[in-house]
Structure 1
Amino acid sequence: MPNAMHILTRTDLADIHLAPAEVIELVTEGYLAYAHNESRCPVKLMMPIPKAERDAVSYSMLGYDGSLEQVGFKTSYRQGSESAEKYYTTISLYDDVTGLPFAFMDCQRIGASRTPATTAIIAKHCARPDARSALMLGTGVQGRNTLPYLLTALPRLERLRLFGTHPDGIAESIASLHRWFPDREIELVEDVPAAVADSDIVVVASGRAAHPQVRTDWLPPGGLLVSVASKGVASGALRDADYAIATSAGQLGVTGTRLAGPDGEVTLDAELPDIVAGRAPGRRGDDDRVFAFSSGMIITDMPVAHALATRAVAAGRGQRVELWS
């Protein structure tokens, strides 16, 4: 079946685990390949759906991973901005060496690994060298793995705190930390502005109404604020930062336009791939309040997807389907 595609469901991937350090390495390699012009990653295509009351999300991404020599296509659809139940995201991979399809798979696990890895990479390069505390706001799928990934990248972190409103999400966030760091504990917080003011690293991956929108000027001097495309961040967060970065300026122009200044222009100091490659600093000074806008890039999804798919196929998971027969 030379033209068969491996179809991998969410269940097929559920117990295929990648350690945080491995995912961080894979995502770092994805950024480096892009920075060295070995990969391609056009800006994501988003389409508003003409039903304002549903506030649906629909977008697609295309990319080429120069390290894997694979082409990838990712799609996401969610009916309603607050619904986790009707959220469907997939990725397909094609081998550019053999010219053959490789895998079509559910993308939830990939995003739940790639996103906290990106956050950890941002923190590694942009937090103060003496950062000792981290605060996570949000307990959705994109945020539950954040604290163990941060601790992997920054093992000197001493204080880990969490704000969430959903008991299941809080429990899963704690379980995720204990899976990799069984001796570490999470402190739950209620007063978000006070917690932000007392944290070296603040990650916001929360909805719009669970807490006051986080402002950059709440940070202590030298603080780092990472927005995971979150509506829980105030619209002036980028404008008010001493140093502003994004995973991609183009992606920011698509998904983060509300963070632009009064004239509608987005001003960035650096992009993450250049920082990882050593071509730009993660901050100018120790007292800079740094804002980082994290938006997914398929060139970081693809290496994680490939690693999960390879292990799942080796374990006999999924189906081979001859779509082109």
Structure 2
Amino acid sequence: MSASTKIDFIYLSEPDMIKAGVTDMPACVDTMEEMFGLLYHGDYRMAGANSDSHGAMVTFPESSPFPDMPKPTADRRFMAMPAYLGGRFRTAGMKWYGSNIANREKGLPRSILTFILNDADTSAPLAFMSANLLSAYRTGAIPGVGARHLARKDSKVVGLVGPGVMGKTTLMALMAVCPQIDTIKIKARGKASLDSFLSWLGETFPQIVNVEVVDTVEAVVRGADIVTYCNSGETGDPSKYPIVKREWVKPGAFLVMPASCQMDEAMEHGDIRKVVDNTGLYECWFEELPKPAHVHVPLIGVRFLDMIAEGKMTKEQLEDLGKIVAGEAPGRKNDDEIIIMSVGGMPVEDVAWGTVIYRNAIERGIGVRLNLWDVPVLR
């Protein structure tokens, strides 16, 4: 007897995603750590010739003969981010999003994201999900994985630039792995985002008893055990990216950067350990971009690749978080070393966390079941 050809999948709205556990940051950090182990051992695929591409992006020209074509305003793009992840996940998926910074004027998030999860065998859809929370939590969880292996265990002071969504989820992940944190220094661009963050902070982490709002990046960095830049801003001029100067950084600090960042010359020296979340991801970016690549992708890991090309560091000096998580390279070696880590964001992260949330939803009976077909017309 032949197998059924019927294909159903579930739709998960944002409230459904919350019910299924998408905001469980400790579980997300653990899932991302598991993902890094699979990443290092090669049990994954992403797009591109080297299977490490961030994704495929649609951008818009400065001038067009078509009056209705979108203009290339700040952060105006569409992007597809596909991946496969093995291990206990063994699923494929794709995050699809459009981004427009002008959305904020309409009361909408800058980016609006959805995610589709597929069976790795038949390729049939398993779920179609609201993905803003999925993406925000998996992005924030990566600094948590880094801090688990690279921050001092007694870290107490966090310095944060950019108290927006990424700032919140990053702090949540840091709190999950560094429970002694009791102090935060914050630099914000606007009062609204700062007020929102402070209100959220008081409700979410009352154990953070020392909150200092500062006016400069230097004040954020000085004295902090963990530093993170989660700001948004325009790309194209590295001199305008938020800088880290060696003289500001205390011995033993861990700096984790999921947003734009530049370093002074002293931070480029070889005694500062430089880590990326996936070496192949940055190599793929570097192959695709004009040089210097940091002009076009403002992440500090791209600057590391520019430094290798310029002879300022060797490829062997660039460390991979997956190798550290897998136990094949050391994490923090001593209490005084300074470590800076770049967070690029990868679709395998969406697949990992999306698979966990999908399975939670099935187990708990969450979501709306939709039918693709009972019997396909064409086969």
Q: Same fold (TM over 0.5)?
A: yes
Q: Pick the aligned partner of 2:221 from 196, 209, 216.
A: 196
Q: Does 1:261 align with 2:286?
A: no
Q: Is the partner of 1:28 in helix, strand or coil?
A: helix
CA contact (8 A) 2:37 2:322 kept: yes
Q: Does 1:8 align with 2:23?
A: no
* CA offsets 1:78-103 (integer angstroms, 9 cap, x no match): 13599664522222111225653201
Q: Is the partner of 1:4 in helix, strand or coil?
A: strand
Partner of 2:179: 155
* Shift in CA distance, 236/249, structure 1 to aligned 2, threshold 3 Å: farther
Letter in 2 for 1:202: V
Task: Tell me the distance in 2 between the aligned counterparts of 1:178 and 1:310.
Answer: 32
User: How many Å apart are 1:5 and its aligned residue?
Assistant: 2.8
Q: How does 1:104-115 map to 2 (within 5 A)?
A: 104-115=128-139
Q: Does 1:141 align with 2:165?
A: yes
Q: Does 1:23 align with 2:28?
A: yes
Partner of 2:352: 303
Task: Tell me the distance in 1 between the aligned counterparts of 2:149 and 2:100.
Answer: 36
CA contact (8 A) 1:58 1:77 kept: yes
Q: How does 1:51-66 map to 2 (within 5 A)?
A: 51-52=61-62, 53-55=72-74, 56-66=76-86
Partner of 2:95: 74
* Shift in CA distance, 109/240, structure 1 to aligned 2, threshold 3 Å: farther
TM-score for both structures, normalised by structure 1: 0.84
User: How many Å apart are 1:33 and its aligned residue?
Assistant: 1.9
* Shift in CA distance, 85/25, structure 1 to aligned 2, threshold 3 Å: closer
**Percentage identity across aligned positions?**
21
* CA offsets 1:35-86 (integer angstroms, 9 cap, x no match): 2333334322343624354142443322222121111122232135996645
Letter in 2 for 1:220: K
User: How many Å apart are 1:245 and its aligned residue?
Assistant: 0.6
Partner of 1:246: 276
Partner of 1:226: 256
Range that drifts further, 255-264 or 116-125: 255-264
CA contact (8 A) 1:144 1:172 kept: no
Structure with the largest fraction of helix: 2
Partner of 1:45: 55
CA contact (8 A) 2:160 2:187 kept: yes
Range that drifts further, 95-104 or 167-176: 167-176
| Structure 1 consecutive aligned stretches of length 4 or more whose deviation exceeds 6 Å | none
Task: Tell me the distance in 1 between the aligned counterparts of 2:309 and 2:42.
Answer: 32
Task: Tell me the distance in 2 between the aligned counterparts of 1:201 and 1:105.
Answer: 33
- Would you say how many aligned residue pairs link Structure 1 and Structure 2? 322
| Unmatched tracts of structure 2, length 5 or more | 63-71, 235-239, 286-296
* CA offsets 1:284-317 (integer angstroms, 9 cap, x no match): 5433321110011222222221232334453442
Range that drifts further, 135-144 or 9-18: 9-18
TM-score for both structures, normalised by structure 2: 0.74
Task: Tell me the distance in 1 between the aligned counterparts of 2:102 and 2:147.
Answer: 27
Task: Tell me the distance in 2 between the aligned counterparts of 1:174 and 1:312.
Answer: 32
Range that drifts further, 217-226 or 128-137: 128-137
| Unmatched tracts of structure 1, length 5 or more | none
Partner of 2:126: 102
Partner of 1:126: 150
Q: Is the partner of 2:166 in helix, strand or coil?
A: coil
Task: Tell me the distance in 2 between the aligned counterparts of 1:58 and 1:239.
Answer: 34
Partner of 1:294: 343
User: How many Å apart are 1:208 and its aligned residue?
Assistant: 3.1
